[in-house]
A and B are shown apart, each in its own frame.
Chain A
Amino acid sequence: MTLLPGATDKKLGLVIDLDTCVGCHACVTACKGWNDQGYGVPLSDQNPYGADPSGVFLNRVHSYQVQPSDGLSQIINFPRSCLHCDDAPCVTVCPTGASYKRVEDGIVLVNEDACIGCGLCAWACPYGAREMDAAAGVMKKCTLCVDRIYNENLPEQDREPACVRTCPTGARHFGDFADPDSNVSRLSADRGGYALMPDLGTKPVNRYLPPRKKDVRSEASLLAPLLDIKATGFAGWLDKVLGRI
Chain B
Amino acid sequence: MHPAPSVLVFTVFSGFGFGLLAFLGIGWPAPAGWVAFWWWGLGYACAVGGLVASTLHLGNPQRALRAFGQWRSSWLSREAWASVLALGLLAPVALSDWLGLGWSRIPGRMGAICAVATVGATAMIYTQLRSVPRWNHWMTPMLFGGFALTGGAMAAGHANLAAGFGLVLAAGLVLAFRLGDGQFARAGQTIGTATGLDRVGEAAVFELPHTGGNYLLREMIFVVGRRHAVKLRLIAVAAVAAAAGLVLVPGALPLACTLHLGGALVARWLFFAEAEHVVGLYYGKR
Contacts and interface: CB of A to CB of B under 8 A. Distances in A.
Interface of A: 1-3, 18, 25, 28, 52-57, 60-69, 73-76, 78, 80, 89, 91-98, 114-120, 122-128, 131-134, 136-139, 194-197, 199-201, 208, 210-211
Contacts of A118: 57-59, 67, 76
A126 B200 CA distance: 22
Chain B, interface size category, equals 35 or more
Contacts of A201: 130
Given A80-B209, A127-B279, 19 more contacts: A1-B70, A3-B73, A25-B209, A54-B214, A55-B212, A62-B195, A74-B201, A93-B73, A93-B125, A95-B74, A96-B66, A96-B67, A115-B59, A116-B61, A118-B58, A119-B59, A123-B1, A138-B59, A200-B130
A65 B200 CA distance: 11
A138 B60 contact: yes
A114 B66 CA distance: 7
Contacts of B128: 93, 124
Interface in B45-70: 57-61, 63-64, 66-70
B72 A60 contact: no
B58 A76 contact: no
A55 B66 CA distance: 27
Contacts of A123: 1, 129, 131-132, 219-220, 277
Given A3-B73, A116-B58, A119-B57, A95 B67 contact: yes
Contacts of A98: 66
A18 B197 CA distance: 10
Contacts of B73: 2-3, 91-94
Interface string B195-223: 11101111111111110111110011000
A131 B59 CA distance: 12
Nearest to A125: B131
B82 to A, nearest CB: 13
B189 interface: yes
A127 B72 CA distance: 25
B282 interface: yes
A41 B188 CA distance: 37
Nearest to A64: B203
Contacts of A200: 130-131, 189, 278
B2 to A, nearest CB: 9
Contacts of A117: 58-60
19 contacts: A3-B73, A54-B215, A62-B282, A65-B205, A67-B202, A69-B201, A78-B195, A97-B66, A115-B59, A115-B63, A118-B57, A118-B59, A120-B125, A122-B215, A123-B220, A126-B194, A132-B215, A138-B59, A200-B131
Contact of B193 (A69, A197, A211): A197
A136 B125 CA distance: 24
B18 interface: no
A118 B75 CA distance: 13
B282 to A, nearest CB: 6
Given A116-B58, A116-B67, A128-B216, A65 B76 contact: no
Contact of A119 (B63, B202, B208, B219): B219
Contacts of B201: 66-69, 73-74
A62 B278 CA distance: 15
B217 to A, nearest CB: 9
B279 A64 contact: no
A132 B64 CA distance: 17
A65 B63 contact: no
Given A52-B212, A89-B130, A95 B59 contact: no
